[in-house]
Amino acid sequence: MEEGDFFIERAETLPANFTCSRCKRQNEYLVRWVRRTKKDRLPPGANERDRALFGKVRDHMVRMDEMLTCKACGRRFEIPSHQSLVFTQRDQR
């Protein structure tokens, strides 16, 4: 069983502020993300290893965009890689 079988995936676009590495101007950009939400129960056919892994996985978002085009100078710049995975918390009701 793959790790992706434990999640429901949904595409999202969220605004974020970035500074162009060339012209040093800061702007707001729309960045594409995939939100991965943990399923309520384990998929059928899971073994002991899958059960242990399912207990440890958490909701998170993975950034899909690697490059952006500057709104001021028009050049492409890379989004810092340390911002490519964000863990989220599920609403507790």
pLDDT digits (tens, 9 = 90+) for 45-82: 889 999 999 999 999 999 999 999 999 999 999 998 77
Domain of residue 44, residue span: 3-87
pLDDT at 4: 83
Residue 91's pLDDT band (boundaries 50, 70, 90)?
Answer: low
Residue 45 lies in a domain: yes
Residue 21 lies in a domain: yes
Q: How many domains does the chain have?
A: 1
Q: How far apart are the two ends of the chain, measured CA to CA in Å?
A: 30
In DSSP notation, 10-50 reads EEEEEEEEEE-TTT--EEEEEEEEEEEEE-SSPPTT--HHH
Q: Is 31's pLDDT higher than 80?
A: yes
Residue 92 lies in a domain: no
Residue 63 lies in a domain: yes
Residue 93's pLDDT band (boundaries 50, 70, 90)?
Answer: very low
Residue 73 lies in a domain: yes
The proportion of the chain whose per-residue pLDDT surpasses 70, expressed as a percent, equals 96
Residue 18 lies in a domain: yes
Helical (H) or strand (E) element with 51:
helix 48-56
Residue 93 lies in a domain: no
